[in-house]
């Protein structure tokens, strides 16, 4: 088996490596697809990051991340929009498949999740012309409902696709198994996303039992309870063939291990636990 | 304002008081509606608990809890069913409005959430004849998706109502704001539940930001981000008038305070943060 279908989200090794070292690590293991974070790009500088990406013919399965549209004042929402436009520019310069959007939760001091969702729709609508002009698809990433208050008020694939339908061309979804595996409507919504040509990214990791921290206790594929082959089958049946991008926040485990060891585990688990014909 | 519409789920003071002391505490504060847990009943004995309930004309807004249907073997599923039948008997003896069901997550060593959901449906179907014979409504409590693996694979109100429709008479839902507040389909599904006469219970607490523990860091109403008046309006508009039952698991805060102080806070917040016309 090859690692052609594998991408490494650089958050997975963010505690071990900066951007350049992470790229070197991936290349050492034959991995040529990555998804960096803007902070990682900023540290080395966009020009140098772009040089590394293009010189090595790296495939960027996404740039993380834009979003965080809701805010209490028009001024703050406008500032968020400006920052999102810069994120689009960076994604364009790096040639990323999409800009991944964590849309944001409630505005400050607000309990109005309906209003927050409207601010997200408005922000996306305002961002889209620039994204289209730059040929950067926007990928709404529905986040697990446990992040609804503080990270993303778009919490199901169905809700994200409803937004995509209203917004039109240039926007789709990032399907992260961690956020959607529980959804009773998952199969139907992945099929719908396929019909809409809206599957822009497929992120993988695993849900650990118990989960000891809501943010930084994600598992390596195979160590948790997500039926990864089943979800991959849904994606493939929907006509989606995005690379599988490993994104693991793991403060107590994987972030403490040498980066090469983490990448080896990613490859091993990708090959053995994540294929549509892997054992459940 | 009176506390007529308020019920105290005894988990809220479980670290401070056993059943009898909790009842005394509630009565001291003019509260005559409670929802006990089976463990609390078992400790004092069903006969004595029943005597206390009936002698004081207590209104039981629910008995917590039955459920946990999925299991790896038929033998274990049968044992779970037997235990659920005993829970129905206890709810009948105590005159509870309903038996609250936390339906259970994945079976042991399984990643098949579709199969788990079928085991829940099958378990409910098998339990219903006895529940109907005892006049004990079964209340499916959809739990927050963060509990899908280990506590409940029914994770949205819509999913619970779909089950209710298939099962027929004698089963409804417990709407706990903690579990459903994030749901983009919440208003529509509460309205649907009303039309089905399926609203059996309404639990309240709050979602804290940050949430430091997935199990035991629930907030007192008003201390978090849930728009409690908005959800109460949805329930009332749906024709539901269940009492609002305070259920707070709070290892770091409320469980450490004197029970009387907790009850005072419950009453204060109930009066000021939880009415359909309370400020948002």
**Domain residues of chain B, as ranges?**
6-252+259-273
Of A155, A182, A211, the CB nearest to B184: A155
Task: Please indicate if any CB of chain A lies within 8 Å of the CB of B178.
Answer: no
- Contacts of residue B253, defined as CB under 8 A and 6 or more positions apart, other chains included, come to B220
User: Residue B257 is encoded by which pair of tokens?
Assistant: 């305070």
User: Residue B79 is encoded by which pair of tokens?
Assistant: 């044992």
Chain B residue closest in CA terms to A211:
B214
- Contacts of residue B168, defined as CB under 8 A and 6 or more positions apart, other chains included, come to B128
Task: Please indicate if any CB of chain B lies within 8 Å of the CB of A179.
Answer: no
Which residues are paired to B175 by β-bridges?
Answer: B202
> Look-up: residue for tokens 């053995």?
A272
pLDDT band with cut points at 50, 70 and 90 for residue A259: very high
Average pLDDT over residues B164-168: 98
Of A149, A153, A209, the CB nearest to B209: A149
As a whole number of angstroms, the distance between CA B201 and CA B194 comes to 12
Chain A residue closest in CA terms to B211:
A214
| Chain-chain contact of B184 with A159 (C-beta, under 8 angstroms) | yes
Phi-psi region of A233 (alpha: psi -120 to 50; beta: other; left: phi over 0): alpha
Average pLDDT over residues B48-53: 98
Torsion angle in degrees (nearest 10) through CA of B92, B95, B96, B97: 100
Task: Please indicate if any CB of chain B lies within 8 Å of the CB of A227.
Answer: yes
Residue-wise pLDDT tens digits, B110-136? 999 999 999 999 999 999 999 999 999
Q: Are A61 and A106 in contact (CB under 8 A)?
A: no
Question: In this structure, what are the phi and psi dihedrals at residue A30, rounded to the nearest 5 degrees?
Answer: 80, 10
As a whole number of angstroms, the distance between CA A224 and CA A203 comes to 15
Task: Please indicate if any CB of chain A lies within 8 Å of the CB of B189.
Answer: no
Q: Are A53 and A45 in contact (CB under 8 A)?
A: no
Q: Are B140 and B123 in contact (CB under 8 A)?
A: no
> Look-up: residue for tokens 């968020």?
A80
pLDDT band with cut points at 50, 70 and 90 for residue A270: very high
Q: Are B12 and B266 in contact (CB under 8 A)?
A: yes
Average pLDDT over residues B201-217: 97
- Contacts of residue B26, defined as CB under 8 A and 6 or more positions apart, other chains included, come to B8, B32, B34, B263
Residue-wise pLDDT tens digits, A11-54? 999 999 999 999 999 999 999 999 999 999 999 999 999 999 99
Question: In this structure, what are the phi and psi dihedrals at residue B115, rounded to the nearest 5 degrees?
Answer: -65, -40
Chain B residue closest in CA terms to A145:
B182
- Chain A nearest CA to B217, separation (Å): 12
pLDDT band with cut points at 50, 70 and 90 for residue A1: low
- Give the pLDDT score at A279: 85
User: How many other CB atoms are there within 10 angstroms of residue B186's CB atom?
Assistant: 21
In CATH, the number for domain A6-273 is: 3.20.20.150
Query: How many Cβ pairs closer than 8 A exist between chain A and B?
Result: 75
Question: In this structure, what are the phi and psi dihedrals at residue B112, rounded to the nearest 5 degrees?
Answer: -95, 90
Residue-wise pLDDT tens digits, B12-28? 999 999 999 999 999 99
Question: In this structure, what are the phi and psi dihedrals at residue B214, rounded to the nearest 5 degrees?
Answer: -70, -20
Average pLDDT over residues B224-232: 98
The H or E element containing residue B172 is strand B171-176
Counting Cβ atoms within 10 Å, is residue A82 exposed (0-12), middle (13-18) or buried (19+)?
Answer: exposed
Torsion angle in degrees (nearest 10) through CA of B230, B231, B233, B234: 120
pLDDT over 70 at B1, yes or no: no
Entry field: residues in chain A? 280
* Percentages of chain B per state (helix, strand, coil), in multiples of 5: 45, 15, 40
| Chain-chain contact of B214 with A146 (C-beta, under 8 angstroms) | yes
Average pLDDT over residues A224-251: 96
User: Residue B266 is encoded by which pair of tokens?
Assistant: 């419950």
As a whole number of angstroms, the distance between CA B10 and CA B22 comes to 7
Task: Please indicate if any CB of chain A lies within 8 Å of the CB of B112.
Answer: yes
CA dihedral sign of residues A109, A183, A65, A86: negative
Of A106, A148, A225, the CB nearest to B111: A225
Residue-wise pLDDT tens digits, B167-200? 999 999 999 999 999 999 999 999 999 999 999 9
In CATH, the number for domain B6-252+259-273 is: 3.20.20.150
- Give the pLDDT score at A240: 79
- Contacts of residue B208, defined as CB under 8 A and 6 or more positions apart, other chains included, come to B217, B218, B219, B223, B224, B225
Strands (E) across chain A are located at 6-9, 33-35, 59-60, 63-67, 99-102, 138-140, 171-176, 199-204, 244-246
Share of chain B above pLDDT 90, in %: 98
Average pLDDT over residues B202-225: 98
């Amino acid at each position: 088996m090859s690692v052609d279908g594998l991408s490494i989200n650089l958050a997975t090794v963010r505690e071990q490596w900066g951007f350049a070292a992470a790229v070197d690590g991936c290349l050492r293991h034959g991995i040529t697809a990555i998804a960096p974070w803007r902070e990682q790009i900023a540290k080395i500088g966009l020009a140098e990051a772009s040089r590394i990406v293009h010189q090595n013919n790296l495939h960027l399965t996404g740039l993380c991340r834009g979003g965080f549209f809701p805010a209490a004042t028009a001024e703050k929402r406008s500032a968020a929009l400006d920052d999102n436009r810069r994120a689009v520019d960076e994604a364009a310069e790096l040639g990323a498949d999409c800009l991944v959007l964590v849309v944001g939760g409630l505005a400050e001091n607000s309990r109005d999740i309906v209003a927050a969702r409207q601010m997200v729709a408005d922000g996306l609508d305002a961002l889209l012309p620039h994204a289209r002009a730059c040929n950067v698809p926007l990928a709404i990433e529905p986040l697990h409902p446990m992040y609804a208050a503080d990270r993303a008020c778009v919490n199901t694939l169905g809700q994200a696709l409803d937004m995509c339908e209203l917004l039109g061309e240039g926007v789709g979804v990032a399907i992260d198994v961690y956020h959607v595996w529980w959804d009773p409507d998952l199969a139907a919504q992945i099929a719908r996303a396929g019909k809409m040509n809206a599957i822009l990214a497929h992120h993988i990791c695993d849900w650990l039992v118990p989960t000891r921290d809501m943010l930084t206790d994600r598992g390596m594929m195979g160590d948790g309870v997500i039926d990864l082959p089943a979800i991959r089958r849904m994606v493939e049946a929907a006509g989606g063939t995005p690379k599988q991008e490993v994104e693991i926040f793991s403060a107590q485990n994987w972030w403490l291990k040498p980066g090469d060891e983490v990448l080896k585990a990613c490859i091993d688990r990708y090959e053995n636990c994540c294929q549509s014909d892997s054992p459940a």
